[in-house]
Amino acid sequence: MIEQIPSFSRAAALLHGADVGRGPAPAGTGEAEVSPPSNDGDSPSGAAPSTPIDGVGGVADPRHDTDSKFRAALTAIDDAGVVDIVRVHEQPARAGAFGDWPAAMDPRLRQALTARFGPRPYAHQAEALEAVDAGRDIVLATSTASGKSLCFQAPIVAATLADPSTRALMMFPTKALARDQVESLRGLVDALPNGPTVGVGPYDGDTPPDQRRAARSRAHAIATNPDMLHRGILPHHERWATFLAGLRYIVLDELHTYRGLFGSHVANVLRRLWRVCAHYGARPQVIACSATIGNPGELAERLCPWIPGRGSLHVIDRDTAPAGARTFVVANPRVVDETTGVRRDYLKVTRAVASQLMNRDVTTLVFCRTRKNVELLTRYLRDDDASHRVAGPAARAPSPQGRGIEELRGVDGVRPCDRVAAQRAAAKAIRGYRGGYLPDRRREIERALREGEAKIVASTNALELGMDIGGVDAVVLSGYPGTRAATLQRAGRAGRRGRPAMAICVLSSTPLDQFVANEPGFLFGQAPEQARVDPDNPEVFLPHLRCAAHELPMKTGDTLPGIAAEDTAMALGYLAEHGSLHAESVAEGESHFHALGPSPAEGIDLRGSVEENFAVIDPTGDILAEVDFEDAPLYLHPGAIYTIEGRPHEVLALDWEARKASVKRVTADYYTEAVSKLRVRVVDPESSLEGVAPPAEPASGTGYAHLVRKVPGFKKIRLGTHENIGFGPVALPDLELHTTAAFWGLPHEAASQLTSPERRATAALAAAHAIQHVAAMMLMCDVGDLGHAVTAGHPGAWGMALTPQRRPGVIAEMDAGGVPHIVLYDRTPGGAGLATAAHALGPDFFQRVVGVVAGCACAGGCPTCMGPQADAAESYASGGAGGSSAAVRRQDVLDVLRALGGAQERAL
């Protein structure tokens, strides 16, 4: 629904023409280049929305101020002629709805809540508190900054005031969030009028031993993360006996992050927690908070499998917090070359858009897709800001005839001292934020944002979660975030209490982004995506069952929530047979033990990471940043420029064994980009292919996959222009991934119908894309938990992974008679049983894939159903066959999928 607000009517009206267009926005948006109307300037009386907004005082009406800044920035962006504004989505301001504090609430708590949050709760908060009071498990799925924390903080404090022996366990996906919430809850406790104190503390890997003891013995509420619960608390539950016996609430914040394989692990950790709680006689209530996703209730029930049995889940997704008007602008970089269809670089366009907001003093968060873009953008925006600052005074005090003074100012008429001052100011106002920065730096940036010192922060999705950063006015999304849920979540970061907010999404030229530009209904017409977990994946469940047996022996009839006792018995029998558990007959049946050596939890990483991070070290020995293990060859090879908040450092040496990279500060006008090659091979453990004649018909099967990523060299790319100015070699170990995979060979008949190797490769790649996505959907994992590749030739031979960026090699091999094989592999080291499970689904699976591709709402194949190479196919088709290229494309993919399904059918 689009609703206009008077102040935006002009912009919306002139942009509306571009809104409906499918395909590249017509160049005719030139009509939009209208000079600002004269009456647009200062007419607050007429322009102000009439909707009353609660919580905003009448002082100088900041709404209008922000509103006019947005308008000016949008006009300037539009006038700059670098983007087509393809869509403006308006959401009117909304008045809040209020409820009352529960009648039975402790007056001390009510006083503290009133002091901190205002006299009355929002209606959804009141509903939540009431449901918790009634003993129900709840899940809140309301927008960012709608006061979700209150809904678990208040019950925790209330319960502790009523009975000091009650305890609460708050789980957050990151340590930083946990610390943030500890501070927040302490703030509420401090506001209690000299009542009994409520002890709150973090309990994670960074907590020193004495504080750990204090947390165990004295804290009423602890804030931890799933990894610590898994490795630090449950295996030592006896030390937590008092805490667990008194456990009243389990708080699960940012529930939507527990999805895919990670979520499946977390669900099993929670199963173990529930079992241990039962041992101590506790039956805690669940208070879960989620960002807006399609299925918050279902996700909560899957993560806490005991809830369906209790039948008590109460889902609250009606957001009643007041909100200012929101504007969502979709901007598509203009085509610069009509013949090739090349568009402006979206990063440069992001820079231009953010600069416009920056120049108007609009506090802005810029979400980038990659860490590299964060660094580049930070640097560019600082440059822009510095020149804007020096341009200001210079423009005000021109020296028309002072040639001598001009000389003092240097070539561009700026005195060096002014320039330095401007650069310093820009470095304070513009910050970068991403993973890899040390916690102290992150806290400092968050503080700068909260206190208004930082005006623009370029960030990865690291700032997407609920860190307290105060409010920002605008959000710029540099590239479509990939899902509607993530788009909503990031855009929701804009907007202070009741003030207008704006989000501008600058699309890249990738097919997916262009699809978003062309499908108006895609972004706003559909519900956010669902979060999927599969706690019953045997490969995930069995290791956690071992942990459970370690925590408390599994006796006959013992099980984990959501699993039938006989299934558990079968799994236990299997583990005992394989020597993972020890079984003993007892009077009541059988007991299974794990009692040797350290807890099996030590060997199970919830996030699938196995290797230590690399430390980035400056010449004085200080650690500057951390880099994930598998990223080190890409970013820390000798000669690489490693940038921290826009400041370039050159990597002098990389000590692979010690996981250390030595860097020194440099002034470089270029950045580096590593080239990487991924090769895939499926190794079938059962049948050796050596010396065996190739089978008559390409087969399908499962096996171990061996992936090798090699970084042969790196490119030097000039800042600003992004031109390639050099190349260097990299000599580092290859990274290997051993995992499990499924493969399907394309039957000869289907292959022969696809006449050219290019067409075969393209269709196979599109089919592999669809297979991966449908597999993720059916197996309830994250799309990123799986990977796909197309290899030429038989499994067992090395094949270059066919990716949109790297196709020629494979095509050449296919030319030489190779048969495309689609490989679907687990991205977790050692595998997680996903690809093999997809293969075991057999012909039904392919029916499902065919159904999804055939049933996609697009006209003739889009990035959703056919993957990002849809455009590559298009360029091929238009250059080669001509005619109705889209229909041919989709038909090819469907033919491939049907042929694979048919082969599965025959195999049965």
Please give the residues from 833 up to 872 whose contact with other proteins meets the rule CB under 8 A: 833, 836-837, 839-842, 844-845, 848, 851-852, 855-857, 863-865, 867-868
Residue 345 region by backbone torsions, left for phi larger than 0, else alpha for psi between -120 and 50, else beta: beta
Closer to other proteins by CB, 512 or 810: give it.
512
Q: Which of 461, 518, 756, 891 binds other proteins (CB under 8 A)?
A: 461
Q: Given the rule CB under 8 A, which of 285-293, 412-420, 571-579, 750-758 is the region that contacts other proteins?
A: 571-579
Q: How far is the CB of 93 from other proteins (least distance, A)?
A: 30
d(CA 507, CA 344): 10
* Residue 298, CA atoms < 13 Å, CB-side half-sphere: 12
Q: How far is the CB of 747 from other proteins (least distance, A)?
A: 13
* Residue with token string 């940043």: 625
- 10 Å CB burial of residue 882 (0-12, 13-18, 19+) is exposed
Closer to other proteins by CB, 362 or 601: give it.
601
Q: Which of 211, 530, 756, 891 binds other proteins (CB under 8 A)?
A: 530
Closer to other proteins by CB, 120 or 710: give it.
710
Whether 641 and 672 have beta carbons less than 8 Å apart is answered as yes
Whether 739 and 828 have beta carbons less than 8 Å apart is answered as yes
Identify the CA nearest to 100 among candidates 119, 77, 81.
119
* 8-state DSSP, 606: T
Q: Which of 277, 475, 604, 790 binds other proteins (CB under 8 A)?
A: 604
465 scored as a contact of other proteins (CB under 8 A): yes
Q: How far is the CB of 182 from other proteins (least distance, A)?
A: 17
d(CA 250, CA 289): 11
489 scored as a contact of other proteins (CB under 8 A): no
Closer to other proteins by CB, 322 or 863: give it.
863
Q: How far is the CB of 284 from other proteins (least distance, A)?
A: 17
Q: Which of 573, 639, 713, 902 binds other proteins (CB under 8 A)?
A: 573
292 scored as a contact of other proteins (CB under 8 A): no
Identify the CA nearest to 292 among candidates 497, 480, 529, 524.
529
Lay out the sheet containing 285-289: strands in order across: 200-202, 221-224, 167-171, 247-252, 285-289, 138-140, 314-316
- State the pairing for strand pair 138-140/314-316: parallel
Using CA of residue 70, residue 71, residue 72, residue 75, what is the dihedral sign? positive
542 scored as a contact of other proteins (CB under 8 A): yes
Pick out residues in 695-734 that bind other proteins (CB under 8 A).
695, 699-704, 707, 709
Closer to other proteins by CB, 725 or 857: give it.
857
Whether 791 and 757 have beta carbons less than 8 Å apart is answered as no
Pick out residues in 222-261 that bind other proteins (CB under 8 A).
225, 227, 234-239, 241-242, 245, 257, 261
Pick out residues in 767-796 that bind other proteins (CB under 8 A).
769-770, 773-774, 776-780, 782-785, 787, 795
Pick out residues in 166-195 that bind other proteins (CB under 8 A).
173-176
d(CA 511, CA 453): 38
d(CA 406, CA 209): 64
Pick out residues in 655-684 that bind other proteins (CB under 8 A).
684
Q: Given the rule CB under 8 A, which of 137-145, 332-340, 369-377, 447-455 is the region that contacts other proteins?
A: 369-377
Q: How far is the CB of 759 from other proteins (least distance, A)?
A: 21
164 scored as a contact of other proteins (CB under 8 A): no
Pick out residues in 627-646 that bind other proteins (CB under 8 A).
628-631
479 scored as a contact of other proteins (CB under 8 A): yes
Closer to other proteins by CB, 75 or 739: give it.
739
749 scored as a contact of other proteins (CB under 8 A): no
d(CA 582, CA 765): 47
Kindly determine how many residues on this chain lie close enough to bind other proteins according to the rule CB under 8 A.
Answer: 165
Q: Which of 737, 746, 810, 899 binds other proteins (CB under 8 A)?
A: 737
Q: How far is the CB of 263 from other proteins (least distance, A)?
A: 11
In this structure, what token pair is assigned to residue 185? 């809850």
Q: How far is the CB of 460 from other proteins (least distance, A)?
A: 4
Strand residues in 245-304 grouped as ranges (E): 247-252, 285-289
- State the pairing for strand pair 138-140/285-289: parallel
89 scored as a contact of other proteins (CB under 8 A): no
Closer to other proteins by CB, 497 or 659: give it.
659
d(CA 270, CA 335): 51
Pick out residues in 869-908 that bind other proteins (CB under 8 A).
907-908
532 scored as a contact of other proteins (CB under 8 A): yes
Q: Which of 79, 605, 815, 874 binds other proteins (CB under 8 A)?
A: 605
Closer to other proteins by CB, 12 or 255: give it.
255
Whether 181 and 216 have beta carbons less than 8 Å apart is answered as no
Q: Which of 39, 43, 197, 370 binds other proteins (CB under 8 A)?
A: 370
In this structure, what token pair is assigned to residue 835? 């690809």
In this structure, what token pair is assigned to residue 259? 């999805």
Whether 353 and 506 have beta carbons less than 8 Å apart is answered as yes
Q: Given the rule CB under 8 A, which of 125-133, 461-469, 664-672, 750-758 is the region that contacts other proteins?
A: 461-469
SS (H, E, C) 677-739: EEEEEEECCCCCCCCCCCCCCCCEEEEEEEEEEEEEEEEEEECCCCCEEEEEECCCCCEEEEE
d(CA 744, CA 838): 11
284 scored as a contact of other proteins (CB under 8 A): no
Closer to other proteins by CB, 532 or 890: give it.
532
Pick out residues in 10-69 that bind other proteins (CB under 8 A).
none
Q: How far is the CB of 705 from other proteins (least distance, A)?
A: 10
Pick out residues in 422-441 that bind other proteins (CB under 8 A).
434-435
Q: Alpha-carbon dihedral of residues 594, 599, 603, 605, nearest 10 degrees?
A: 120
98 scored as a contact of other proteins (CB under 8 A): no
